[in-house]
Amino acid sequence: MKKVWAFDLGASNGRLMLTKFDGERLHLEEIHRFSNHPVFLTNHYYWDILRIFQEMKKGISKSLKMGHKDVESLAVDTWGVDFGLLSSSGELLGNPYSYRDNQTFQGMEGVLKKISKKDWFLRSGVEPSQINTICQLYAIKERQPDLLERAETLLMTPNLINYLFSGEKANEYTISTSTSMYNFGLKDWDKELLDMFDIPHKMMAPVVQPGTILGPTLASINKELSMDPVQVIAGAGHDTACALAALPIKQGEQAAFMSCGTWILLGVQVKEPVVTEDSLRWGFTNEGTMDGEYRLLKNSMGLWLIQQSKAIWEKEGSSISYQEEYELVRDTKPFQRFINPDTTDFLNPENMPKQIQQYCQDTGQTVPTTKGEFLRCILESLALKYRWVLERLEQLTGKSLEVIHMGGGGIQNEWLCQFTANATQRRVVAGPIEVSSIGNSIGQLIALGQIKDLAEAREIVERSFTTKVYEPENQPEWQTAYERFNELI
């Protein structure tokens, strides 16, 4: 029985899973879960990386206490685009910023003064957006040039954590492709682009392939946690790449994937990046897969809209449970109003429900007032947006996508799955939930020679976890709703 630790860090919580592989099936056990939100101070949003690391170590200690002493390796996957900077002595220079920090808006303006969106997209395959790493770097350079002058190494978030565990500095391929500084033609950092922005090449730690074994945990960590060394693996560092690896898509199946969390990423795996006028205009992105190909996808707003609304209701003293949320949606009249979930208005507003009301007012629609109305408006709008994305994915790839595989924590919202099936008129196969942790474990097991490749891994996932199928319903109503939605966006 092989055992690996998978750390999956999301933009609302992080967790440590112990994965056991018996040669036939994967068995997942949650060891530790902790909240993880950007922290607002001195007018900026930061990741509390010290607390995150502390929680990760706590997770290992818990696991060891539970008797898991023969674990072979660990790997880390996280959200995209964010990074940490190290000094020449290898110490962390400040807290990493969150991509939701407002500085990225100025960064984007600055970046676009030097490079057109088209050129930027042609080089990286990534949608030009203010959340891209380059915008953050630009903003930092403008506001506090001394920070970048002192920085000797830039490591993407999962790679920063790998470094804290192993002492090895390397950026992994899938997470590097999320930066928009990786040139897919050169298959390396885009040095010309870095020059345009005066970013020293040597700051960008080299890109390694998913599954690179970095080496054993540091002696200091082993001592602190009283453990035997385990191998630190740069598995697929980007959570979306992990999610795709673990969806039970069959070989030859005409399927789209959806990784559902704070963001929802809807896309298909392609051999080469799709870098066309249309993919640029529609805001698609091409990021790396665990097996060195590409995820042609759209980064769409996901459960963030609900999470942020619920946070405000909680502050106001009227929080709701998941069951209540389900019932409120069920009992609220459908198709009263829609929002375009992907406008930057919803990226990080102070008060999400107010922002939604503002949007409805500005677009001449009735304003939601009850929780049920907000929730329905969000969920229907998300599902309709996914139909918009799916139609364009079909045009870009020339494929008819018959089924959507949804995975991630978001699939616990049954309305999200059912509405997605209804809006797209496609069968939805939902599951597994812990798709990023499973993908993370698969990356390690492939690196350790226990699983041959992704095709075999997906068969193992199919045997190991249950899925739920949602058939499309109410075609005419959703069709009319889609026509109204299309006029709005």
Ligand X SMILES: C[C@H](O)[C@H](O)[C@@H](O)C(=O)CO
- Annotated catalytic residues are 239
**Nearest-approach distance from CB 60 to ligand X, in angstroms:** 23
Taking the least distance from each CB to ligand X, the nearer of 45 and 263 is 263
Binding of residue 288 to ligand X (CB under 6 A): no
How many residues make up the chain in this entry? 489
Taking the least distance from each CB to ligand X, the nearer of 279 and 299 is 299
CA distance 267 to 404: 9
Any idea what DSSP says for residue 151? -
Contact positions with ligand X (CB under 6 A) in 76-95: 79-81
In the numeric block, the tokens 């929780």 are attached to 371
Any idea what DSSP says for residue 32? E
Structure tokens at 107: 């960064």
Contact letters for ligand X, residues 316-345 (x by CB under 6 A): ------------------------------
**Nearest-approach distance from CB 115 to ligand X, in angstroms:** 20
Distance, C-alpha 487 to centroid of its chain: 29
CA distance 238 to 255: 21
Which member of 73, 240, 413, 418 binds ligand X (CB under 6 A)? Answer: 240
**Nearest-approach distance from CB 97 to ligand X, in angstroms:** 12
Contact letters for ligand X, residues 93-122 (x by CB under 6 A): ------x-----------------------
CA distance 22 to 19: 10
Structure tokens at 21: 């592989």
Taking the least distance from each CB to ligand X, the nearer of 173 and 338 is 173
Structure tokens at 137: 């770097």
Which residues lie below 8 Å from residue 374, measured CB to CB, with a gap of 6+?
A: 309, 353, 356, 368
User: Which helix (H) or strand (E) is 297 found in, with range?
Assistant: strand 294-301
Q: Which of 116, 114, 112, 126 is nearest to 177 (CA)?
A: 126
Which listed range, 113-121, 258-266, 384-392, 462-470, lies at the site for ligand X (CB under 6 A)?
258-266
Which residues lie below 8 Å from residue 101, measured CB to CB, with a gap of 6+?
A: 38, 44, 45, 46, 136
Binding of residue 131 to ligand X (CB under 6 A): yes
Taking the least distance from each CB to ligand X, the nearer of 99 and 388 is 99
The radius of gyration of the chain from alpha carbons, rounded to an integer in Å, stands at 22
Which listed range, 44-52, 61-69, 236-244, 365-373, lies at the site for ligand X (CB under 6 A)?
236-244
Which member of 265, 274, 347, 396 binds ligand X (CB under 6 A)? Answer: 265
Taking the least distance from each CB to ligand X, the nearer of 7 and 263 is 263
**Footprint of ligand X on this chain (CB under 6 A)?**
79-81, 99, 131, 178, 238-240, 261, 263, 265, 299
